[in-house]
Amino acid sequence: MNNPFKDFDRNSGIGNKWISVNSELEHIDGNKKDIKIELMEDGKPRAMAFFDIDGTLAHLSIIHSQAIQKLFPNQELKELEETYYKGFKLGNSYREFDRMRGIYIDGHLDWKDPEFYFKNRFLPYSKEIDEPGNWAHEKAAEMLKEYGEVASLACDELYKNNPEEFKKSNIESIFILAKMYYRLGIPMVGFTANAKVFVNKLAKYLNLSDIFLDIATDEVMSGGGKEIAIHHLIDKLKSKGILVPKNRLIFVGDSLRGDIGTSLIAQKKDPEIRGQEF
């Protein structure tokens, strides 16, 4: 694999400087940490890394199980969980909950196959599902809000009674990668198809606030998927005075459509976006 960062190795820049940038994420102690970033000779970080959270950095089934059962209490739990998890690769929660609502409230059982849903429901009605002001979007948004609140409370309860479960949920190899980027002074952000109230708790209890600058959630993805989050997060770093190296981006995720492939969609709006995908 070609390395677009080969000219920016740690020892190549004489006079590279480090800066501190305040994270947007609240730590378990209630504070927001300063994250150190190294600037290369061109005045930009050596890269900017985007991480999916759920399924990439951590397995959160213990939380999802409680939340999805609360929304659909009359369903057999194992089947309900399997159906819900299959929709995680759709790109955002508006699509996920439009699908779940269609299956368990409106009786579209063929939507249990996420590919069938994507081709026969989402593609013909993508605007109605993704964009505010449409009935399908608003119904999905109502479910997302309720789900986020239930998941947030489940996080609090789990941390109170079994805090070690959060450490057990970590996907160690990806955390090692993230910590390596942190030591290299690479600014890291997250993008995840979950509600902000839920993600704020994950940032605390998974200690993501120690190394991540920000995490984009479903609330900033209305009108599309994680490609919107990419632009949003780049703009957030710009607002902090960081010149983003758009040709040296890193995308880490577990879904080709929902995570990694979104960089290609983001390029359509900004052709300067380039990088590596893992």
Average pLDDT, whole number, for the chain?
87
Contact between 54 and 193 under an 8 Å Cβ cutoff? The reply is: yes
pLDDT for the residue numbered 263: 65
Per residue in 110-152, pLDDT tens? 999 999 999 999 999 999 999 999 999 999 999 999 999 999 9
Q: How far apart are CA 93 and CA 99, in angstroms?
A: 9
Per residue in 212-263, pLDDT tens? 999 999 888 877 777 888 888 999 999 988 999 988 999 887 755 544 566 6
The residue with greater pLDDT, 15 or 136, is: 136
pLDDT for the residue numbered 255: 59
pLDDT for the residue numbered 187: 95
Give start-end residues of each CATH 3.40.50.1000 domain in the chain.
Answer: 6-58+170-277
Joined together, the tokens standing for residue 209 give 């606030």
Q: Burial, 268: exposed, middle or buried (Cβ in 10 Å; 0-12, 13-18, 19+)?
A: exposed
Q: How far apart are CA 210 and CA 152, in angstroms?
A: 20
Q: How far apart are CA 158 and CA 69, in angstroms?
A: 16
- Give the DSSP letter string of 190-259: EE-SS-HHHHHHHHHHTTGGGT-SEEE-GGG-TTSSHHHHHHHHHHHHHHTT----TTSEEEE-S-IIII
How many CA atoms does the CB half-sphere of 99 hold within 13 Å? 30
Per residue in 153-212, pLDDT tens? 999 999 999 999 998 898 999 999 999 999 999 999 999 888 999 999 999 999 999 999
Residue 43 CB partners (closer than 8 Å, separation 6+): 243
Region 58-80: mean pLDDT is 93
Under CATH, what is the fold of the domain 6-58+170-277?
A: Rossmann fold (3.40.50)
Q: In 4-104, at which residue ranges do the beta strands (DSSP E only) sit?
A: 17-26, 32-39, 48-51
